Amino acid sequence: MTKVSFGAHPFLLGFDQLERLVERTAKSDAGGYPPYNIEQSSENTYRITLAVAGFAEGDLGITLEDRQLVVRGRQSEDDPERVFLHRGIAGRQFQRSFVLADGVDVTGASMENGLLHIDLTRAKPDTIVQTIQIRKG
């Protein structure tokens, strides 16, 4: 028995990119660090909030690579003279990825109280009805 892939179904023409998108999203799981929220603030605006306590703005990088929003964090080296009796605040490097749909754009990012906010906007889709003319032979 052969497995028919999602993109190969005869009624779903041109959706092979969607199958690759699902595979890429499954591979981008970074565990639970750092924790994050995704909020929808209006019909076409969203906000991703990551808890990045202990990270400064210079320790964080945000890039958009092939419709994939990538947030990376790497803290600068600790002072070697500091001695921790207990270290419970996670400060490890991380990479968290979010795949964005076509038409979703990053409009800005800000830091507030140890939270990194990334604002997104989705363009309003145009409702277009197109009539296709049939040519003779």
pLDDT tens-digit map of 77-130: 767 888 889 988 767 899 999 999 888 999 999 999 999 999 999 988 777 788
Q: Check residue 102 and give its pLDDT.
A: 86
pLDDT band of 42, cuts 50, 70, 90:
very high
Whether 106 maps to a domain, the answer reads: yes
- A 10 A CB-CB count for 121 gives 15
pTM over the 0.75 mark:
no
Q: Check residue 129 and give its pLDDT.
A: 83
Are residue 93 and residue 104 in the same domain, yes or no?
Answer: yes
Are residue 48 and residue 17 in the same domain, yes or no?
Answer: no
Structural domain of 89: 33-122
Are residue 4 and residue 43 in the same domain, yes or no?
Answer: no
Of the candidates 67, 65, 61, 64, the one whose C-alpha atom is nearest the C-alpha of residue 95 is 61
Are residue 14 and residue 44 in the same domain, yes or no?
Answer: no
Are residue 100 and residue 50 in the same domain, yes or no?
Answer: yes
- Tally of domains within the chain: 2
Are residue 19 and residue 54 in the same domain, yes or no?
Answer: no
5, 66, 88, 113, 121 from 93: Cα distances, Å = 36, 22, 15, 19, 28
Q: Check residue 69 and give its pLDDT.
A: 95
Which one is predicted more confidently, 132 or 63? 63
Mean pLDDT, to the nearest integer, of 39-55? Answer: 94
- The Cα 72–Cα 42 span in angstroms is 27
Q: Check residue 132 and give its pLDDT.
A: 82
Whether 131 maps to a domain, the answer reads: no
Are residue 85 and residue 42 in the same domain, yes or no?
Answer: yes
Whether 2 maps to a domain, the answer reads: yes
Are residue 21 and residue 37 in the same domain, yes or no?
Answer: no
